[in-house]
Every structure is written in C-alpha cells, then in structure tokens.
C-alpha cells in the first residue's frame, strides 16, 4: 500500500483522506490494521478509539505531525467501520449538552423540554454503548474524563435536583440513566424519586441495608452519599460510623476523610455537639496519619 496521509492532515482533518491513506500511514509507522482485525480488537480489548490508539502507540516512533497520529486515526476508522457503535467522545458531547440544558433550566428558567430532549439522546447512546450489565466502566470513565470534574458532580446531583423541582418523571429517567452508566448504583440512584413518590421510611431502610457491613465499600459509600443528599441525618450517622471505623482500620485516608465530611454535616444538623467534638479529634488524627503516610501530599476531598 503506497497511499499515505500527507503532513497537512492536522489542518484538514482525517475526514479528507481515504481509508487506504490512513491505513498506509499506520503501516508505514509499524501498525498493521485491517477492518476485520480492527472490529475484533474493538470487541475484545479496545472498546473505544482511545483504547485502540493506546495499543497502537506502544512502539510508535513517529515525531512531528505524525507523533500524535494514532488517536485521530483510530477515531476516523471507528466512524467508518463501526458507525453504529458509539464512542466515549460522543457520550461526553451528549452529556455536556444535557448538563448545559439542565444548568440553563436551573439558572435562567430555560425550557425543561430541552432537558428531556437532551436526556433522550444520552439514553439512546447509553443503550447502544458496550457492556453487559450496564455500560462498560472504562467507557464511562473515558467519557467523563473528557469533561470538567464539575460535570461529574452536576450529573451525580441531578436526580435530587429534579426531585426538588418536582420534575419526577425526568428525575426517574435520570436515575435510570445513572444506574445504567454506573451499575454499582442500582437501586440507589432512584432512591430520592422513590422516596418522594412512595414510602420514605421504606426507601431509607433500603439505603441503610445497602450501607451494611456485608456490602462493598463502594456501595456503602454510595448509600451514605444518597442518604446525605436526602438529608436523612440519623441514617447517615448510623451507617457512617461503622464505615469510618473500617476505613480508619484499613488506613484508607481518602475514604475516611470523605466519610468524616458526610458525618460532620449529619452531626451538625442533628445538633450532636459531643459527637462533633469526637469526630474532630478523629479527623485530626486521620489527617496526621495521612500526612505521615504521604509526606508532601496535599489532601483533596472527592
């Protein structure tokens, strides 16, 4: 194959070049690809263009304009050979649109219909994204990795926001999307909607069970966060304390500090001064242990 991409590709974009030229350039720098092999890799080990490009970059020795060729090449070939299969980049773009529509509604009273329409586009993409029980974790991480960190927080808080605005149908769809993108959150993301629609006590019981010691740390922390969002402060204290004990015993400083933050809010709201004092002592100790374990490491809260 003699056809290759020329040096102008960065200005023109790879859309202007034939598939042969893209393959010829990859081959010139030592990466042999054909359509069947590309699809097989996408099925097995490289569920996104970024993952594909990372494989190709091992041993990639081009410099100058071709030094960064693998990712755009992977994206271009993906669009041509797997057009029906969404990419994390597309998911990131649709999520950004969705969060913008929600932000406009919240700040300027923008149309709620725009939120519903944008949500529909993300739902459609998520249905087609790779993954058996929900969307593949690496795919979701890569999509959110292309957005600012605030986007993740806005996404996580949106179900509760919509419940507060009495937009229960949208809240319910948002929670379902969240549980599809994050299968760990099954039954948790929808809790605020269920509590508003039905029996709050029953829902809090479900969350307390999800925060029990027989559950994974991830799930316990999610239950704690959900209870804090719902301002169920007694329950936050109830599942937060044993979770803090466990994190502290395991020297999991970041988790312990995150739990301290939720517990601090709960004890404050419950007016438990004794508990707050004791928590401050523990937090100071965790901070000190953390500093000793990672000298020169400034802590950050997630």
Here the tokens at position 191 are: 């809790």
pLDDT tens per residue, the chain (302 residues)?
Answer: 569 999 999 999 999 999 999 999 999 999 999 999 999 999 888 888 999 999 999 989 898 889 999 999 999 999 999 998 899 989 999 999 999 999 999 999 999 999 999 999 999 999 999 888 899 898 999 999 999 999 999 999 999 999 999 999 999 999 999 999 999 899 999 999 999 999 999 999 999 999 999 999 999 999 999 999 999 999 999 999 999 999 999 999 999 999 999 999 999 999 999 999 999 999 999 999 999 988 876 555 44
pLDDT of residue 78: 94
Distance CA 47, CA 49 (A): 7
Three-class DSSP labels, the chain: CCCCCCCCHHHHCHHHCCHHHHHHHHHHCCCCCCHHHHHHHHHHCCCCHHHHHHHHHCCCCCCHHHCCCHHHHHHHHHHHHCCCCCCHHHHHHHHHHHHHHHHHHHHHCCCHHHHHHHHHHHHHHHHHCCCCCCCCHHHHHHHHHCCCHHHHHHHHHHHHHHHHCCCHHHHHHHHHHHHHHCHHHCCCCCHHHHHHHCCHHHHHHHHHHHCCCCCCHHHHHHHHHHHHHCCCHHHHHHHHHHHHHHHHHCCCHHHHHHHHHHHHHHHHHHCCHHHHHHHHHHHHHHHHHHHHHCCCCCCCCC
Distance CA 239, CA 219 (A): 12
Burial of residue 274 (CB within 10 Å: 0-12, 13-18, 19+) is exposed
For residue 58, count other CB atoms closer than 10 A to its CB: 9
pLDDT of residue 30: 93
pTM: predicted TM-score of the whole model, two decimal places:
0.82
Distance of CA 190 to the CA centre of its chain: 17
pLDDT of residue 298: 58
pLDDT of residue 174: 98
CA distances from 172 to 91, 160, 163, 196 (A): 20, 10, 9, 11
Which domains are present in the chain? 9-81 (no CATH), 86-192 (no CATH), 199-302 (1.25.40)
Give Cβ neighbours of residue 284 (< 8 Å, ≥ 6 apart).
none
């Amino acid at each position: 194959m003699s056809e290759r991409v020329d040096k102008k590709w960065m200005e023109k974009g790879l859309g202007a070049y034939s598939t042969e030229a893209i393959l010829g350039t990859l081959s010139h720098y030592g990466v042999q690809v054909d359509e069947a092999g590309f699809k097989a890799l996408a099925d097995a080990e490289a569920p996104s263009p970024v993952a594909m490009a990372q494989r190709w970059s091992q041993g990639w020795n081009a410099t100058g304009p071709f030094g960064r060729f693998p990712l755009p090449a992977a994206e271009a070939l993906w669009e041509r050979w797997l057009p029906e299969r969404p990419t994390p980049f597309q998911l990131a773009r649709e999520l950004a649109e969705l969060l913008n529509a929600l932000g406009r509604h919240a700040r300027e009273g923008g149309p709620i219909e725009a939120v519903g329409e944008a949500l529909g586009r993300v739902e459609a993409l998520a249905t087609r994204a790779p993954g058996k029980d929900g969307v593949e974790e690496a795919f979701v991480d890569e999509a959110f990795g292309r957005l600012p960190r605030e986007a993740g927080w806005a996404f996580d808080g949106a179900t509760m926001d919509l419940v507060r605005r009495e937009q229960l149908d949208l809240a319910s769809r948002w929670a379902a999307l969240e549980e599809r993108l994050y299968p760990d959150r099954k039954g948790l993301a929808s809790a605020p909607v269920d509590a508003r629609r039905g029996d709050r006590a029953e829902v809090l019981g479900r969350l307390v069970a999800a925060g029990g010691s027989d559950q994974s740390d991830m799930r316990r922390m999610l239950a704690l966060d959900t209870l804090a969002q719902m301002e169920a402060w007694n329950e936050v204290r109830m599942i937060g304390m044993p979770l803090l004990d466990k994190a502290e015993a395991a020297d999991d400083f970041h988790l312990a500090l995150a739990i301290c933050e939720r517990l601090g809010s709960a004890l404050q709201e419950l007016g438990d001064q004794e508990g707050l004092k004791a928590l401050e002592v523990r937090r100071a100790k965790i901070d000190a242990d953390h500093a000793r374990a990672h000298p020169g490491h400034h802590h950050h809260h997630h």
